[in-house]
Amino acid sequence: MDYKKTNAANTTITRNLIELEKETGNIYETIAIISRRANQIGVELKDELNSKLEEFASYTDNLEEIFENREQIEISKFYERLPKPVLIALQEFIEENIYYRQPEEEQENL
């Protein structure tokens, strides 16, 4: 998924807990689903950022290159301005874009 084009808010918004728990029936389960997805998103964003910054890796200690690498600074600032992984995961949950399953219910149905 392209997290750069998400419509998640950049700041925290107060949410209605009753609306969030409607789908799962339990607010704690909802929070667990959102937190797991946020961890996945955080790892993906970190890997993507590290791969982009790897291009600028300097294996020599040149002080001028460290202070004048504008492209690296711009990439870092772009990723800092993205919504936090929790906000992206919460937006995905609200839009019903997260797939999850409940093993307890699957066992009961068998």
Residues 80-89: pLDDT tens digits? 888 899 999 9
CB 20 within 8 A of CB 30: yes
CB 91 within 8 A of CB 8: yes
For residue 11, name the pLDDT band (cuts at 50, 70, 90): confident
User: Residue 78: which residues within 8 A CB-CB, separation 6 or more?
Assistant: none
Higher model confidence: residue 8 or residue 29? 29
Q: Taking all residues of the chain, what is their mean pLDDT, rounded to a whole number?
A: 82
Mean pLDDT, range 34-51, rounded to an integer:
92
DSSP 8-state class, residue 84 = P
pTM, two decimals, is 0.76
For residue 35, name the pLDDT band (cuts at 50, 70, 90): very high
